[in-house]
Amino acid sequence: MPVTTPTHSSWLNVPAKVRDVVTHHFAPEWQGRPLYLMIPGGVAAFTAGVWIFFLAKTVWVDHLRSVDAATPRLLALLLPYFVGLAIFSYAYELYNWPRALRLTLILGGAGLAIIFVGISFASLLRCWKGKGDRKSSHSFGVAGSVSDHSEWWVGDTGSGPDGTILSLATCPKCGNPLHEIGAACSFCAAKTAGL
């Protein structure tokens, strides 16, 4: 079976493009093995994207880290994310840098948009979960409405009783400052002990 030159299909025609890349990879007469770049580049970009998602989730959904402390880490994770995408795109476009850079920007923007949507859904699910917990723990009024008049977005999202975002060294139940992160609140401990 004679090997033909890759057709350089559009990047949107994924099946044809994958056939071109595989044909190029296994053809002994062509220089370069694109799969040796695509696989590690894709794995690096995917791994960095997952780390970006979880770090952003701990900052904006769980409120376990401050934004100022997490910003350098998020920016540092963008480097392996975009480098991995660039390596993947370079091999996917069969060593054509202008097309690879364009594809890197498109995939990078789409990936960051997907991460943003995932963080938004995680935040909404966390808020709705907190709202459901509040409904079941409070009594209902005469008309069947909940006696708690807090807003739907103030739930178990790391916010205190008055809806303010807590620091790491603050009791999530009462909002009192703690001596250190993870320490038990003396006020809440005394309250549950009946003192």
More confident residue, 69 or 148: 69
User: How confident is the model at residue 130, as a pLDDT?
Assistant: 60
Q: Give the pTM.
A: 0.62
Which tokens in the block code for residue 46? 């995917």
- What average pLDDT does range 99-119 have in this prediction? 95
Q: Which residues of 51-74 are buried (b: 16+ CB within 10 A; e: fewer)?
A: bbbebbbebbbebebeeeebeeee
Which tokens in the block code for residue 189? 């401990």
More confident residue, 175 or 121: 121
CA 51 – CA 81 distance, rounded (Å): 10
Amino acid at 141: G
CA 75 – CA 47 distance, rounded (Å): 15
CA 22 – CA 9 distance, rounded (Å): 13
Q: Which of 103-112, 128-137, 148-157 has the lowest mean pLDDT?
A: 148-157
